[in-house]
């Protein structure tokens, strides 16, 4: 990789890193937010929902606009909007007696910015790297996404030692320099963009699903269910560590990072191992959802910290082995011309999974730990059955 290209790519790697912080950095701070604003566990879960839903909705639109006007003209303003949303939420916490409504509004703004970032960073990386380096570059981009997942609960706990609202200001402090760097340092090849009208965009979308509906919809559901389970469980564990084990601050951040670390590490290793082993993809997905179901059934049996975290470690592994083959199944289900649409829609359903996880678990805990975890196990089991029936390795159209 040339030095000039390496600098551009280093800046782009900051985009997935900061996007992962959008939700994960706040999860360790949920109990502090509940106490400071007098919220229920369901209400604090909406702080994730109000970020993730607008992000998910806007991802396909951002992808379409980036094909018309370029990646940078969409991604750079989106990064500034993302940071501005964090400022709105932080200022609401400082200035208002009841900051919750405006804080949620700031999260909506932040989510709108998030919808035009990570997927476009992937597309821009694909534009920059035209040789065999592309696969390596995309792998490194995903690695920074994984790094953000591991670091975010620790970073959130550390920043929250200042105040429960300090993480909101951290978003702008981290994001604004990245936005400037992308604009000034990253060179875009606009002449290679394939512009299409909205009608053509819609026709391509219909064509993809007329040919690949079973594998795409089943893969979308498995990916969404996996992130629904992960973020729902993490939001519960954040409260559990404080209320049952008196773990606060940085200690709690490190403990929450355990299942996230196992997921990110397994995702990286399984992605490398499965790259050329298509025949295993279906059975790895089925096995991962089976392990997830078993872990969720076992979790309500434990109240002690060590067996709980061991079980969560294996839950992280189960999700980590599922996501790489699902990601590859989805990107391989369509030709290059249609891949952007398919990938953007996958980003949408992933955000929806994240969005509904914490508030759903917050409502379910009212009926007890058994009801909450067995309900999540049922979702995992449904994903298992769907994967068993409908997930098949793709036949590339290229």
pLDDT at res. 292: 97
Domain boundary among 162, 183, 204: 183
Average the pLDDT over 149-163 and give the result. 91
CB 59 within 8 A of CB 119: yes
Domain match, 150 and 254 both: no
Task: Find the Cα–Cα–Cα–Cα dihedral 339, 223, 312, 292, rounded to 10°.
Answer: -130
- Which of 7-21, 120-134, 266-280, 282-296 reaches the highest mean pLDDT? 282-296
If one compares 272 and 83, the residue with the highest pLDDT of the two is 83
Count of C-beta atoms within a 10 Å radius of residue 199: 8
Residue 373 domain-assigned (yes or no): yes
If one compares 143 and 161, the residue with the highest pLDDT of the two is 161
pLDDT exceeds cutoff 50 at 130: yes
Domain match, 337 and 211 both: yes
Domain match, 232 and 326 both: yes
pLDDT exceeds cutoff 60 at 1: no
Residue 191 domain-assigned (yes or no): no
pLDDT exceeds cutoff 90 at 245: yes
Domain match, 210 and 353 both: yes
Residue 259, domain CATH: 1.20.1250.20
pLDDT digits (tens, 9 = 90+) for 86-117: 999 999 999 999 999 999 999 999 999 998 88
- CA–CA distance, 282 with 261 (Å, rounded to integer): 24
CB 189 within 8 A of CB 71: no
pLDDT digits (tens, 9 = 90+) for 5-57: 778 788 888 888 888 889 989 999 999 999 999 999 999 999 999 999 999 99
pLDDT at res. 43: 95
Query: Structural domain tally of the chain?
Result: 2
Could you tell me the pLDDT band of residue 397, with boundaries at 50, 70 and 90? very low
184 Cβ contact partners less than 8 Å away, ≥ 6 residues apart: none
Domain match, 305 and 382 both: yes
pLDDT digits (tens, 9 = 90+) for 360-393: 999 999 999 999 999 999 999 999 999 999 988 7
Could you tell me the pLDDT band of residue 340, with boundaries at 50, 70 and 90? low
Residue 188 domain-assigned (yes or no): no
Domain boundary among 139, 161, 183: 183
Domain match, 45 and 167 both: yes
Residue 42 domain-assigned (yes or no): yes
Residue 49 domain-assigned (yes or no): yes
pLDDT exceeds cutoff 90 at 220: yes
pLDDT exceeds cutoff 70 at 307: yes
Alpha carbon 330 to chain centroid, angstroms = 16
Domain match, 162 and 296 both: no
pLDDT exceeds cutoff 60 at 193: no
Q: How does DSSP assign 85-122, residue by residue? A: HHHHHHHHHHH-SS-HHHHHHHHHHHHHHHTTTHHHHH
* Distance set, CA 362 to CA 18, 111, 226, 293, 322 (Å): 26, 21, 17, 20, 25
Average the pLDDT over 66-73 and give the result. 81
Average the pLDDT over 124-148 and give the result. 69
Residue 385 domain-assigned (yes or no): yes
Domain match, 261 and 345 both: yes
Domain boundary among 135, 156, 183: 183
pLDDT exceeds cutoff 50 at 398: no
What is the span of the domain harbouring residue 90? 1-183
Domain match, 291 and 143 both: no
- CA–CA distance, 364 with 227 (Å, rounded to integer): 17
- Collapsing DSSP to helix, strand or coil, 298 comes out as helix
Domain match, 106 and 213 both: no
- Collapsing DSSP to helix, strand or coil, 163 comes out as coil
pLDDT at res. 133: 63
Domain match, 217 and 326 both: yes
Could you tell me the pLDDT band of residue 194, with boundaries at 50, 70 and 90? low
pTM for the predicted model, two decimal places: 0.84
Domain match, 216 and 353 both: yes
Average the pLDDT over 134-139 and give the result. 64
Residue 70 domain-assigned (yes or no): yes
């Amino acid at each position: 990789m040339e030095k000039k290209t390496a600098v551009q790519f280093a800046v782009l790697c900051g985009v997935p890193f900061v996007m992962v912080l959008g939700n994960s950095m706040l999860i360790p701070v949920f109990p502090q937010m509940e106490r400071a604003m007098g919220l229920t566990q369901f209400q604090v879960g909406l702080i994730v929902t109000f970020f993730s839903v607008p992000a998910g909705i806007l991802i396909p639109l951002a992808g379409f606009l980036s094909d018309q006007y370029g990646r940078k003209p969409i991604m750079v303003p989106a990064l500034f909007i993302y940071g501005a949303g964090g400022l709105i939420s932080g200022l609401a916490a400082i200035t208002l007696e009841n900051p919750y409504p405006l804080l949620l509004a700031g999260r909506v703004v932040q989510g709108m910015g998030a919808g035009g970032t990570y997927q476009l960073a992937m597309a821009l990386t694909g534009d920059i790297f035209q040789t065999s380096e592309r696969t390596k570059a995309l792998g490194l981009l995903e690695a920074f996404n994984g790094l953000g997942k591991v670091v975010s609960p620790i970073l959130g706990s550390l920043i929250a030692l200042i105040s429960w609202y300090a993480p909101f200001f951290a978003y702008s402090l981290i994001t604004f320099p990245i936005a400037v760097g992308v604009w000034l340092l990253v060179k875009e090849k606009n002449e290679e963009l394939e512009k299409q009208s909205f009608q053509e965009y819609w026709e391509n979308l219909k064509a993809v699903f007329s040919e690949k509906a079973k594998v795409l919809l089943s893969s979308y559901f498995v990916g969404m269910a996996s992130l629904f389970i992960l973020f729902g469980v993490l939001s519960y564990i954040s409260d559990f560590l404080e209320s049952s084990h008196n773990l606060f601050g940085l200690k709690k951040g490190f403990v929450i990072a355990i299942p996230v670390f196992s997921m990110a590490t397994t995702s990286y290793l399984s992605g490398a191992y499965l790259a050329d082993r298509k025949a295993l993809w279906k059975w790895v997905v089925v096995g991962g959802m089976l392990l997830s179901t078993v872990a969720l059934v076992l979790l309500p049996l434990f109240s002690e910290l060590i067996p709980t975290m061991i079980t969560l470690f294996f839950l992280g592994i189960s999700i980590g082995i599922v996501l790489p083959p699902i990601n590859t199944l989805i990107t391989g289900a369509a030709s290059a011309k249609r891949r952007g649409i398919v990938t953007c829609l996958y980003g949408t359903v992933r955000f929806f999974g994240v969005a509904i996880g914490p508030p759903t678990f917050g409502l379910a805990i009212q009926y007890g730990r058994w009801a909450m975890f067995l309900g999540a196990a049922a979702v995992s089991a449904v994903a298992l059955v769907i994967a068993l029936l409908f997930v098949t390795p793709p036949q590339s159209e290229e």
